[in-house]
Amino acid sequence: MKHTKYDQISAFITKDKTLIRELLHPRVHGQGQVSLAEALVAPGLVSELHLHKVTEEIYHFIQGCGTMTLGHEVFRVQDKDTVLIPPGTPHQVENTGAEDMRILCICTPPYSHEDTELL
């Protein structure tokens, strides 16, 4: 399947405690080399510090603001910011704003719980 509808995709909690909706994932939709998901972090919440041993991620923030931990760096993020997360890099996000933080997450290879290591 190459076409999905947002309202027909169930959300789930990932290993890092983030609410995720897999917009396109080869395991679910049958094709592709990457996955695209929307992560939602409610105001005041923070994801678990974690890394992916194999997967490279790109986060594109589409709503909200907060802080991002990327390795030893901590910096502010807001809508329209984009962050590259190389494999093996510890990372987490914290929503410090008043609205939900929404992040588009591109993963290659596609996201898997097995590749997620909590720190």
Domains of the chain in start order, with CATH, are: 6-118 (2.60.120.10)
The chain-wide mean pLDDT, for the chain, equals 92
How far apart CA 119 and CA 109 sit, in angstroms, is 21
Of 25-29, 98-102, 107-111, where does the model show the most confidence?
98-102
Tell me the percentage of the chain whose pLDDT exceeds 70.
99
pLDDT at 111 over 80: yes
Amino acid at position 51, single letter: L
Q: What is the pLDDT of residues 79-95, one digit of tens each?
A: 999 999 999 999 999 99
pTM of the predicted model as reported, rounded to 2 decimal places: 0.91
Residue-wise burial string across 6-26, b where 16 or more C-beta atoms lie within 10 A, e elsewhere = eeebeeeebbbebbbbbbbbe
The residues with which 19 forms a beta bridge, in sequence order, are 13, 40
Distance of alpha carbon 26 from alpha carbon 6, whole angstroms: 16
What pLDDT score was predicted for residue 70?
98
Give the DSSP H or E segment for 67. strand 65-70
